[in-house]
């Protein structure tokens, strides 16, 4: 399959879905309504980096990209009476545990993370018929995650975790070329005395028709991301294209090799 056609393939997978979205009294749809949204963010986070962040009880984080969430770009807790019920996704448990784990709170009941994602974001995404139940929301997120296949693409592109430093602009370029859209890439900024940022999260954006689209906004159209999605750990920020980026393979590798970094600039 040609990379540039990937987003059309994803759209084709959902061709049986109506292009109309919910306009019920429960979810009024107008540009002025506080819960009206335009796009979805499918956020992948790198568990090893997540475990380098603020206090947590990470234990043996997966060394593959996992799901952080599927977030509308506007609105939070759109229906506070629609509580999470884990029995509705019991047949998804195997995939949920593998691909959507609670990386930060390993010792807690993992369903608390999914409860948070549903009640904060899923109840807003549910304005779409294809996402209007807990089963649909979680199963479709898993399906999009598999279709994007970020883990597989990065490996094929030769972008692997370890001691190698990469140019941020180069990573963004290969992702954009392959997927045909511009994702949002977030990093941990360099610590004091260091010059490399750490790769932490990659987000892909979808239209309401579940077609890949750019995460960046056209000129003149303000982004709602920063004002309405206060869900990302504050330590992460959009990566700096001019700085080298570290893609860590193990949590213990907190202090990076100065020799490796020196070689990067030579």
10-residue averages of pLDDT along the chain (266 residues): 49 39 40 72 96 78 96 94 97 97 79 96 97 98 98 96 91 96 95 89 97 81 40 74 92 46 38
Residue 19 placed within a domain: no
Give the count of domains, the chain: 1
Residue 26 placed within a domain: no
Residue 25 placed within a domain: no
Q: Is 117 a catalytic residue?
A: yes
Residue 201's H or E segment, with its range, is strand 197-206
Residues 98, 67: Cα–Cα separation, whole Å? 10
- pLDDT of the residue at 110: 76
Of the candidates 45, 68, 119, 203, the residue annotated as catalytic is 68
Of the candidates 7, 44, 45, 121, the residue annotated as catalytic is 121
pLDDT in tens, 46-104: 999 998 886 677 888 899 999 999 999 998 999 999 999 999 999 999 999 999 999 98
Residues 250, 205: Cα–Cα separation, whole Å? 28
Whether residue 233 contacts residue 54, with contact meaning beta carbons closer than 8 Å, is answered with yes
pLDDT in tens, 90-104: 999 999 999 999 998
Whether residue 23 contacts residue 189, with contact meaning beta carbons closer than 8 Å, is answered with no
CA dihedral 53, 57, 63, 69 (to 10 degrees): -70
Residues 43, 130: Cα–Cα separation, whole Å? 19
Whether residue 183 contacts residue 173, with contact meaning beta carbons closer than 8 Å, is answered with no
Whether residue 101 contacts residue 66, with contact meaning beta carbons closer than 8 Å, is answered with yes
Residue 73 placed within a domain: yes
Residue 42 placed within a domain: yes
Minimal CA–CA distance to 246: which of 192, 187, 206, 193?
A: 187
pLDDT in tens, 116-130: 999 999 999 999 999
Residue 29 placed within a domain: no
Q: Is 116 a catalytic residue?
A: no
Q: Is 33 a catalytic residue?
A: no
Give the CATH number of the domain where residue 197 resides.
3.90.730.10
Residue 22 placed within a domain: no
Tell me which residue range forms the domain holding 142.
Answer: 3-13+37-265
Of the candidates 7, 117, 119, 203, the residue annotated as catalytic is 117
pTM above 0.85, yes or no: no
Residue 239 placed within a domain: yes
């Amino acid at each position: 399959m040609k990379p540039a056609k990937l987003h059309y393939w994803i759209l084709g997978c959902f061709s049986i879905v109506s292009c109309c979205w919910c306009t019920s009294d429960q979810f009024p749809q107008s540009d002025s309504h506080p819960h009206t949204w335009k796009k979805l963010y499918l956020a992948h986070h790198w568990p090893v980096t997540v475990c380098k962040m603020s206090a947590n009880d990470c234990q043996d984080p997966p060394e593959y990209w996992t799901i952080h969430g599927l977030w509308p770009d506007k609105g939070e807790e759109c229906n506070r009476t629609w509580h999470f019920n884990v029995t509705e996704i019991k047949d998804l448990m195997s995939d949920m545990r593998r691909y959507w784990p609670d990386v930060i709170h390993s010792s807690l009941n993992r369903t608390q993370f999914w409860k948070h994602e549903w009640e904060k974001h899923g109840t807003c995404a549910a304005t779409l018929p294809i996402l209007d139940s807990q089963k649909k929301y979680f199963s479709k997120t898993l399906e999009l995650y598999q279709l994007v296949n970020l883990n597989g693409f990065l490996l094929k592109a030769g972008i692997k975790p370890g001691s190698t430093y990469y140019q941020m602009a180069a990573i963004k370029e290969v992702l954009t070329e392959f997927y045909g859209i511009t994702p949002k890439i977030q990093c941990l900024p360099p610590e004091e005395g260091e010059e490399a940022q750490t790769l932490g999260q990659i987000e892909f954006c979808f239209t309401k028709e579940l077609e890949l689209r750019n995460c960046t906004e056209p000129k003149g159209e303000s982004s709602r991301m920063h004002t309405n999605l206060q869900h990302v750990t504050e330590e992460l920020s959009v990566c700096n294209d001019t700085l080298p980026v570290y893609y860590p393979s193990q949590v213990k590798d907190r202090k990076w090799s100065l020799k490796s970094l020196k070689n990067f600039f030579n």
